[in-house]
Chain A
Amino acid sequence: MQNNSIVNAATKSWLVLIVLSVIAISLSEFIDNRSLYIISALIIVVIKGQQIVDVFMELKTAPKFWRVLFLSYIALLPLIITVIYLS
């Protein structure tokens, strides 16, 4: 039962990741403003990273320290890159 829910969660994550990847590459079609474009692309990175960390790496059920550590990486690195690009 628990394994079925893991498979379902992985399948949903896979779909989310594929859709977000296609959206990321199509962003330039919809957004002209460069700052907004960079922020949007990097927000997509954070969402995709969260899916991989929580679902594929199974850190959602791991000790909080490790989950927070990896989610911090996936949030802070795009934030630093955004600050560099917008400075």
Chain B
Amino acid sequence: MNSSSISTALPNKARSDKKLPGDLAMWFFILAELTVFAIFFIGFAVNEQLNEVMFSQGKAQLHQTSGLINTIALITSSYFVALALSAMHRAQAKKSVLLLLTAKFFAVIYICVKVWEYTSLFDQGITIETNTFFTLYFLITAFHLMHVLLGMVILAFIAHSAWTNKYQHNDLSAFEAGTSYWHMVDLLWIILFPLIYVI
């Protein structure tokens, strides 16, 4: 191979190395989910501008520390999912399952904190019908919670598949699709947390 053929071959090689993790369908599904949440987030911000006093009073009744705990729990969970995928790339399926279980443990922490948060609001007589702030708060956070629960089912599914050696011949696209979904759940919380709890 002469030098000119090397120079033309290298960019092609570099291009072929760029691979989208998981299934294309999952990425379109993730885009659809991100779009729905974007509408929620923009709607929340617009309503806050229209009802500044109500929203600032509502935010003052939320527990910021529980929001921070949930942020740390989801980030850490996402981190362990990333490590689980890396372990799968090294053909360490059992280690990957352990990492996925650790990720699910942090997701359970998130759910427990969220349930505690809802319960303490209900105890104060605050419900989805209290005012616009709490309607949006419960809608957005409960919708996100549903995604966390679905993500946990997906993590359980890929963990079971890894444990039973279903991922053969380096085809990890289903595993990668599951981990990508979980990272989307984390990504959404990264925006939700400051919008509802911090700003």
Contacts and interface: CB of A to CB of B under 8 A. Distances in A.
Interface of A: 3, 6-7, 10-11, 13-14, 17-18, 21-22, 24-25, 27-28, 37-38, 41-42, 44-45, 48-49, 52-53, 55-59, 61-64, 66, 69, 73-74, 77-78, 80-81, 84-85, 87
Interface string B80-93: 01110110011000
A62 B39 CA distance: 26
B67 interface: yes
B72 A18 contact: yes
Interface residues of B, number: 44
A8 B49 CA distance: 42
A6 B85 CA distance: 10
A10 B86 contact: yes
B187 interface: yes
B76 A14 contact: yes
Contacts, number: 112
B98 interface: no
Top 3 nearest A-B pairs (CB, nearest first) are A14-B79, A84-B45, A10-B82
B46 A57 contact: no
Contacts of B186: 52, 56
A61 B83 contact: no
A66 to B, nearest CB: 6
Given A37-B199, A74-B187, A25 B45 contact: no
A22 B67 CA distance: 11
Given A63-B18, A78-B191, 12 more contacts: A7-B86, A17-B190, A22-B68, A24-B194, A25-B64, A48-B190, A74-B187, A81-B41, A81-B195, A84-B42, A84-B45, A85-B199
A16 to B, nearest CB: 10
26 contacts: A3-B90, A6-B89, A10-B82, A18-B75, A21-B75, A21-B193, A24-B198, A25-B64, A25-B198, A37-B199, A45-B190, A52-B190, A56-B78, A56-B82, A56-B183, A57-B21, A57-B183, A58-B21, A59-B21, A62-B18, A64-B18, A74-B187, A77-B191, A84-B45, A85-B199, A87-B49
A21 to B, nearest CB: 5
Contact of B34 (A10, A61, A73): A73
Nearest to A62: B20
A63 B20 contact: yes
Nearest to A86: B49
